[in-house]
A and B are shown apart, each in its own frame.
Chain A
Amino acid sequence: MVERRPVSVSGIGLLSPAGIGLEGLVGGEEGGTVPGFRARNYVSDRKSLKLMTTAVQLGVSAVQIALDDDGEWGTIPPDRRGIYVGASPQTGDPDALRPALEASVGPDGFDMKRFASDGFPLIHPLWLVRGLSNNIIGFAAAIHDLQGVNANYCDGVDGGINALREGALAVAEGRADLVVAGGADAWSGASALLGGQACGDGAAFVVFRAGGNDVLPEIDALASAVRSGAFLGSATAPVAFCKNLLMSR
């Protein structure tokens, strides 16, 4: 068996349908977007913002808030700072495909050959790249020089739990001294996909460090604690975890 040290949380970044930080503690059960959220308040590079979907903007912003809350993350060497993320594939804006689809119409309707020859050149080069699920890691690591252990999970609600658990274990097992872990997703307006269930946007990340009161048991208990409230995809469990932490502060 692998030896473990206790792991505690030193920073919290919470964006939920109820609000940002402490404002996000109460309410939001009906889902929706994050009130008052503006990515440009957290991401200074405007060019990067254009390459981020809403979920990625939420995730990168929550990482920023969590590290700011930690305050001393910069003292840890970059190769000892890790990042674990739960996220969904970030499908690009369907309207961005419109010109390509229009160009693909033949006498009998949609024509795949026309799509290949005439439609493709009209699609933005980064349409699919924007859809990569691991873009939160790519952008957050570049901004904060996080060079250590990492993983990106695409398992719906379980993805957020996996990210929290594996991130905490990376610190517990000594493979990192600081790990940012959590999840982000943007499901507002998608309740039709889920039979009318309340859906929302959200992101929540924590900073794990060695020592203090061990939070691993709380993470292991998350699976049974996140089955109520609005569906936030990969952010569901991290949002619940962060709410619990903030309420106990």
Chain B
Amino acid sequence: MSSPDESRIPTQYECTEQLVQTTPADGLIVSNLGVSSWILSKVEDRDRNYYMKGAMGSTTPMGLGMALGTNAPVTVIDGDGSMLMSLGALATVARESPENLTIVVMDNSEFKTTGGQPTLAADASFHDVARSCGLRSHSVSSRDEFETAYESAIDSTETVLISCAVTSSVPEEYPRPDYSHSYLKHRFRSAIVEGE
């Protein structure tokens, strides 16, 4: 039996699995609403995961705020639709550039949560936008490339953005985490803020 082609475009599940394996145990992960959160919760439902349930376009700003409040590594799993909605946030992030922040944009060039309609990401480069804003950036399109880029991002002394091409996922394969807004908030904050 031949080995799988490691140069193919990976699935978002594979990259999320790799991401969770590489993220240190004390690392915070904030994931975009919809598919990104559903996949993360299926890979591993950690207390230090924060699943966005609304506010599309605010996932990367949430990660920036977290990175300004903790020394632990903070990873954003954003989607291409959400990132397009707030490209200006990359300029804000670049100016702060906290060393513990990594932004992964899972780019399937689709609004997967609303039915797979195309986004404008097919014609836009998050890699180039991030670099133009002054951020260190990588563009990857295989699982091996993602692994290498994410490991170096976790060790970096500045914020790194990784634009990761992924295949279209099937939302129905991922059960939605059945958590209320308030439960998620208290679970996450209690894991990080001692004594409260």
Does A associate with B in a complex?
A: no
Binding site for A on B (CB under 8 A): none
Binding site for B on A (CB under 8 A): none
